[in-house]
A and B are shown apart, each in its own frame.
Chain A
């Protein structure tokens, strides 16, 4: 399997404070890659760098084999059209209905007819089991529902890479399992590469092909779930003990 994302020696700062201190990551195409780590260790920060929302102090980030640090905007937009991102807080556009939110990428990047767009929108809503929410406004949704709508929006264009910042935080175990199944389906049937941040150990066990564990700005561990569970690095041990 070939690499679809390669991050090398990434160093990032917020206002002069070091957050990531030499992080290297290698994500294989068509796999589910899970980022673990304590709250505030920089998981969201890592995702935001890979998707170009933040710029590193130094280091290299390659997506689809192309270096994106310092890439010109036009070219980067082409990469983005093949990526979807689920934000930790959903980040739905509050002025648009649920259906319109999901339709944004379809309207902007395709010339599909309205009927087709509506069909795609409703299919995606169905995948996250929120068929009935089509015409609701984001302010009428619960936190977990917002998350799921945001996931539907992130996969509206069947991206090649999907970034998920805590897809199942705030969801009940049953819905969490459904979301996990959906992510695995996307991987298996569409060959989607998924990079997910999650704290739910059961969920990691189910979906992860590969895991990295961040601590103190560094990658403490890389490998499979089984290997992680048997690891004797103290931080990781703590993570898996209930």
Chain B
């Protein structure tokens, strides 16, 4: 369609999103190929133009200005002219650009933001601790019946999955270590191994990890949803403290449920070991139980319980923090939920190491 002789470019019958890009290319080539400073674009046969087409024309204007070519639009019909002015992008308001931070600004800003996170996390912990203790004695401002509800959701409903996983872990742990111990004729020590490692490590840790995935994530996502849909703000305007109303029932339920679930995990895990010991290693039920009774000490159990309390608070507080930090739209619910699970598991494992050293 390019007609370089008389410096005129004739547009096709349609300039719509299907052919805009290719037409733009053709016009560009045409502009390059001519050596005149006056060019006409003929709209005579154009019947239909959409906003993408108008953007192409605007783009051509800008290109021609850069290369000092004057563009004349000819044979523009009334209808096309209206489209041109409606969709024109030539006189748009300039957008405010946010200045891009320089490297040191960026580092400073990130550091500052991290520090702000730490600060608000500490404030939140203090708040939860304050209301958590106070709430035990003063039930005003707490949602009625919510503790029972949360206990069911967090505790009772988690029983099957925690029992199953603990059983399998006890089972497999015993099976794997028995093979090694048998080489030394030390079969019976498998009881020490399973009883102690289950109680001190595996039961609290596995329970915490499952709860972080199950309940920590649901706490975070529920609060995040409430935050972005202004439910938290609505509670505040009703003179209700969101910590007391929404958070405390979850905190209490977690505090009660985690140790109980950990004890369950421990018992079922050891049962898994017992099954292997009796059925495959032929240790004998009585021998297994006697050995267990003689190796386990109170300290092992205390370690387990202390760990389970600490883990339950970590999971809850991290979930609440990331939930309440949610800002903006629905995407932040997903992001913050993921962040809460990852952070909770990380902090649980760090805490586990620290407690492991303390109770060594």
Contacts and interface: CB of A to CB of B under 8 A. Distances in A.
A83 B231 contact: no
Contacts of B230: 87, 89, 91
Contacts of B236: 52-53, 80
Interface stretch (A103-111, A199-207, A232-240): A103-111
Contacts of B239: 77-78, 80-81, 105, 108-109
Contacts of A130: none
A85 interface: yes
Contacts of B233: 48, 53, 87, 91
Contacts of A93: 226, 231, 234-235
Nearest to A96: B143
Nearest to A93: B231
Given A107-B144, A108-B141, A53 B237 contact: yes
A91 B238 contact: no
Contacts of A105: 238-239
A68 interface: no
A95 B141 CA distance: 17
Interface in A50-91: 51-53, 77-78, 80-81, 83-85, 87, 89, 91
Interface in A128-175: 150, 163
Interface string B230-260: 1101111111100001000000000000000
B240 A108 contact: yes
A80 B237 contact: yes
B238 A104 contact: yes
A92 interface: yes
Contact of B229 (A77, A80, A91): A91
A189 interface: no
Given A107-B144, A108-B141, A94 B231 contact: yes
Interface string A200-232: 000000000000000000000000000000000
A112 to B, nearest CB: 13
Nearest to B142: A108
B23 interface: no
B217 interface: no
Contacts of A83: 237
B219 to A, nearest CB: 13
Contact of B238 (A80, A94, A95): A80
**Which DSSP category, helix, strand, loop or mixed, fits chain A's interface?**
mixed
Interface in B12-28: none
Given A87-B230, A89-B230, A104 B240 contact: yes
B225 interface: yes
Contacts of B238: 80, 104-105, 108-109
Interface residues of A, number: 25
A39 to B, nearest CB: 16
A87 B234 CA distance: 7
Contacts of B240: 104, 108
A51 B239 CA distance: 10
A77 B236 CA distance: 9
Nearest to B144: A107
A87 B236 CA distance: 12
Interface string A174-197: 000000000000000000000000
Interface string B129-153: 0000000000011001000000000
Interface string B211-229: 0000000000010011001
Contacts of B140: 108
A77 B239 CA distance: 5
B229 A94 contact: yes
Given A94-B225, A107-B144, A108-B141, A51 B237 contact: yes
A216 to B, nearest CB: 15
Given A80-B239, A108-B239, A108-B240, A85 B229 contact: no
Contacts of A51: 237
Contacts of A84: 237
Interface in B123-174: 140-141, 144
Contacts of B231: 91-94
Interface string B287-306: 00000000000000000000
A177 to B, nearest CB: 26
Contacts of A108: 140-141, 238-240, 245
The residue among A53, A91, A93, A108 with the most chain B CB atoms within 10 A of its own CB is A108
Interface in A7-58: 48, 51-53
Contacts of B237: 51-53, 80, 83-85, 163
A90 to B, nearest CB: 8
Contacts of B245: 108
Given A87-B234, A89-B229, A94-B225, 16 more contacts: A77-B239, A80-B236, A80-B238, A85-B234, A89-B230, A91-B230, A91-B231, A92-B231, A93-B226, A93-B231, A93-B235, A95-B222, A104-B238, A108-B140, A108-B239, A150-B234
Interface of B: 140-141, 144, 222, 225-226, 229-231, 233-240, 245
19 contacts: A48-B233, A53-B237, A77-B239, A81-B239, A87-B233, A91-B231, A92-B234, A93-B226, A93-B231, A93-B234, A94-B225, A94-B226, A94-B231, A104-B240, A105-B238, A108-B141, A108-B239, A108-B245, A109-B239
What 8 A-B pairs are tightest by C-beta distance, nearest first? A80-B239, A91-B234, A91-B230, A85-B237, A77-B239, A105-B238, A81-B239, A53-B233
